[in-house]
Chain A
Amino acid sequence: MYEHDVIVVGAGGAGLRAAIAADEEGADVALVTKLHPVRSHTGAAEGGINAALQEGDSWDLHAYDTIKGADYLADAPAVDTFAKSAPEEVIQIEHWGMPFSREDDGRVSQRPFGGMSFPRTTYAGAETGHHLLHTMYEQAVKRGIEVYDEWYVTNLAVTDHENPEDRECHGCVAYDIKSGEIHGFKANNGVILATGGLGQAFDHTTNAVANTGDGCAMAYRAGVPMEDMEMIQFHPTTLPSTGVLISEGVRGEGGILYNGEEERFMFEYGYANNDGELASRDVVSRAELTEINEGRGIDDEHVDLDMRHLGEERILDRLENILHLAEDFEGVDGLDEPMPVKPGQHYAMGGIECNENGETCIDGLYAAGETACVSLHGANRLGGNALPELLVFGARAGWHAAGKDMKAAEIGTGPSAKSEDGAVQPPVEPGAVDAGSEDVVADGAAVEPTAVIENAVDNERTRIETLLEDDGINHANVRADVQQTMTENVNVFREKESLEDALRDLREARKAYEDVAVSDPSRTYNTDLIHTIETRNILDVAEAITLGALAREEFRGAHWRAEHQERKDDEWIKHTMLAWNDGTPELYYKPVELEGDEETYEPKERSY
């Protein structure tokens, strides 16, 4: 058994920032990651990092834009904390050597981004995430932070109390991918989940193959509610063949969208008369798909994004990476021709319910970054707000776990924050995989931390041995079925019937998963096994997304419903919450906190 004060699961932006913060507080911290830190998906972020740095800008403007962009589903204490802390965090990484793009006077450049009232997005070319990730990994190396790379955390070690709010997390179980050994990790102070996105629930996504919602699914099964899971962001500019992202920076610099009739449809068809291409991502995604669905797309599949008029010099200075992506993955020279783009799954606004300090309702269990839902992004994340989120809330989770004295959180968590029961009638009974029931929280009545961990380790050994020894079907079939139904039925445009179809398909996939087995018997670098365990996580998060989408009968932010074409503020300024409840998802609601430090945010109509 390994032992540390703080164990951070996942070593992307949020995980690294959390680990550095915990280290600053004097904790013995370890990063456990199924990749190597520099392979994390934070590295693929392109656009930039929002922070109010310049004269004329201020944190409260940033906060206001964020709440408005979120369509009033964000919690004000989270947003205020975020906007106030972002400038310091951004300057901090500059001090750590981040190679930001610069102005003539040597200061960091800032550019306009969608939904922002001020050009407050700092960036490093069109590869901001790569530089952020590497800069932070370098700082982790400088501090000598221990990294267990290619160790896959498969379960949490949590006590077995009836009420999740009484449970404690003492550590986790991890599988050494290289050797096949399974070990317990004891966390004296806390476990921080920073496992990133869940895009692999969809088949057209900008997310890495590793983004399988592991943290979300593990926390959910341990008893932490999942919040606003229906809020999936679709990015309007992804390459049609692969889902590779073309940064919003292209539109920020002045890139233009054209339909198949060479019309600048954002203006000409009136989707967003004020902001045009720089309207929020949900607005642009729907506009593109409407054009395509009404026959004004190109090859019935995509629209064009043109940046040629920006000129070679500006493109090379600020968007060079985009040229490489378009060339390598679509065979298009962005200097000579427009780039084909269509919407793709990009970001999960929802996730593990936690507060401004990263705490979940389970003592000793924290979440940060994309896997978490503070909630900051509400129904729609503004471009450039994800990277500062992982800095601000990664740091806060790290500090808090390491024992720093911090202000008590204002955001409520756990079942006691419930305001009303949810009502949704799924067409089939959703729920647990039979074969997996032992991998749920039940760790005996053990209270002694070491015993809790040993019990969790035993359960995982049994699960993994069973998967390796049994004969059965390949997980890849199940995974493909899930991804396909999610992309067909739980996409940008949603309707009741298709959501119900998705739940039926997911039920089928769960049944199929009961027969899943790993055909590679090897203990050495068994990716078949890893992907099989991941597929279980994909199933759980896919079901939560779909149930949330079925429950929310309104049109808010990224969540569009055919039958409900208006935002219903009287009924729906509340978070959808899903609790695991022994494998049967239990839906309830929690109020949105719109009272901020300076003002109470009054919902206004979103117009562009």
Chain B
Amino acid sequence: MSTIEQQESETEEQAENQAVESPGERRRAEKREREAEREAQREAEEASLDDEETILLKVFRYDPEVEGKQEPRFDDFQVPFHKGMTVLDALIYARDKYDSSLTFRHSCRQAVCGSDALFVNGRQRLGCKTQMADLESPVRIEPLPHQEVVKDLVVDMEHFYDQMHAVEPYFDADELPEDGLEEQRQTRENREKVKMSTRCIWCGACMSSCNIAAGDNEYLGPAAINKAYRFAMDEREGENRKQERLRIIEQEHGVWRCQTQFSCTEVCPKDIPLTEHIQELKREAVKNNLKFW
């Protein structure tokens, strides 16, 4: 950030230059000056790193387009540590200060947009809500496993979205109050029952942690099944719709593939009891098939 004094002195210098140089030369000279300033600033920052606590990041790099990056590798970044620093903060620092081609998704930085799920020190986590202080150094940051890598830490989410869409993820009431100004009733208990399932932010951490999903590309996966649970258990949808929902999750690559390893539940950044929801749907499906219950 240049101060006003700096700007003023720059303006004076520009005025002097103006007398002897063409506008193009002046512009290039200014550019050189600014580059020199930034270089000095960078050096000062790097020098000050010696006095501060720093953390070493080992970040996965890959870019199919750029020669020299087509072979996957890990890059090291030494970033200054401060209290409260998250993995996302560290990545942003590395990108903005050292290598602007470092690529990752991020947006809300408050654990609700779901775009920065990463594999950090061997576990799926949201970069924005993972404190650096809680991690062992060096911090190893990789894209979500079992997903195709687009570039660096960005994975292709298409398959995840396809599975989410496969469960018909939308509310479908049998009948609605006739008056457009009257809501459907829902008991507090029922809302409480579906509450956790409605918290899913589509980050894909669960799917990435699931051994079954890794081996069976058609498996709906924990997020999609949780989405199905969210609607199947909502009392505002009718019995017919529930039957259809059970039919979807009962298919060959549906709930029965889950082997209750709990890895999805373990990594879910929104604490959704995914495994439990899957088991509950299994029970519903059994009850549904054995009509005497």
Interface on A for B, CB 8 Å cutoff? 35-36, 38-41, 43-44, 53, 87-88, 91-92, 94-97, 99-108, 125, 127, 130-131, 134-135, 138-139, 141-142, 178, 208-210, 241-242, 244-245, 324-325, 328-331, 472-477, 480-481, 484-485, 501, 504-505, 508, 511-512, 514-515, 518-528
Contacts and interface: CB of A to CB of B under 8 A. Distances in A.
A474 B39 CA distance: 12
The 3 closest A-B pairs by CB, nearest first: A97-B171, A106-B185, A520-B101
B4 interface: yes
Main secondary structure of the interface of B (DSSP, over half): loop
B115 A127 contact: no
A97 B170 contact: yes
- The residue in B66, B110, B194 that gathers the most chain A C-beta atoms within 10 A of its C-beta is B110
A86 B159 CA distance: 37
Contact of B66 (A96, A331, A485, A522): A522
A208 B113 contact: yes
Given A94-B184, A106-B186, A329 B110 contact: yes
B108 interface: yes
Contact of B38 (A99, A473, A485, A524): A473
A43 B113 contact: yes
B32 to A, nearest CB: 10
Contact of A127 (B112, B186, B187, B194): B112
10 contacts: A41-B107, A99-B198, A102-B188, A138-B170, A328-B111, A329-B110, A514-B27, A521-B65, A524-B63, A528-B103
A97 B101 contact: no
Interface string B90-119: 000001100011011011111111110000
- The residue in A95, A100, A501, A526 that gathers the most chain B C-beta atoms within 10 A of its C-beta is A95
Interface stretch (B150-158, B245-253, B277-285): B150-158
B236 interface: yes
Interface in B122-175: 129, 131, 150-152, 154, 157, 161, 165, 168-173
Given A38-B202, A102-B186, A481 B2 contact: yes
Contacts of B66: 520-522
Given A473-B34, A473-B38, A208 B151 contact: no
Contact of A484 (B1, B31, B110, B191): B1
A44 B187 CA distance: 26
A102 B187 contact: yes
B2 A130 contact: no
Interface residues of B, number: 69
Contacts of A484: 1
A39 B7 contact: no
B171 A329 contact: no
Contact of A41 (B34, B113, B131, B173): B113
A36 B157 CA distance: 10
Interface in B1-29: 1-2, 4, 7, 27
B290 interface: no
Contacts of B214: none
Contacts of A522: 63, 65-66, 69, 101, 151
A91 B154 contact: no
A38 B203 CA distance: 10
A334 B96 CA distance: 33
Interface of B: 1-2, 4, 7, 27, 30-31, 34-35, 38, 63-66, 69, 84, 95-96, 100-101, 103-104, 106-115, 129, 131, 150-152, 154, 157, 161, 165, 168-173, 176-177, 180-188, 191, 194-195, 198-202, 231, 234, 236
A25 B82 CA distance: 53
B159 to A, nearest CB: 14
A88 B115 CA distance: 32
Given A35-B113, A100-B183, 14 more contacts: A36-B115, A92-B180, A94-B184, A97-B173, A99-B195, A138-B170, A139-B171, A142-B168, A241-B84, A331-B84, A512-B34, A520-B66, A523-B65, A526-B101
Nearest to B171: A97
B229 to A, nearest CB: 13
A131 B202 CA distance: 13
A524 B131 CA distance: 29
B171 A515 contact: no
Nearest to A520: B101
Contact of A44 (B64, B110, B115, B181): B110
B26 to A, nearest CB: 12
Contact of B1 (A100, A125, A480): A480
B199 A41 contact: no
A91 B8 CA distance: 58
A209 B65 contact: no
Contacts of A40: 113
A245 B110 contact: yes
Nearest to B82: A241
Contacts of A127: 112, 199
Contacts of A473: 34-35, 38
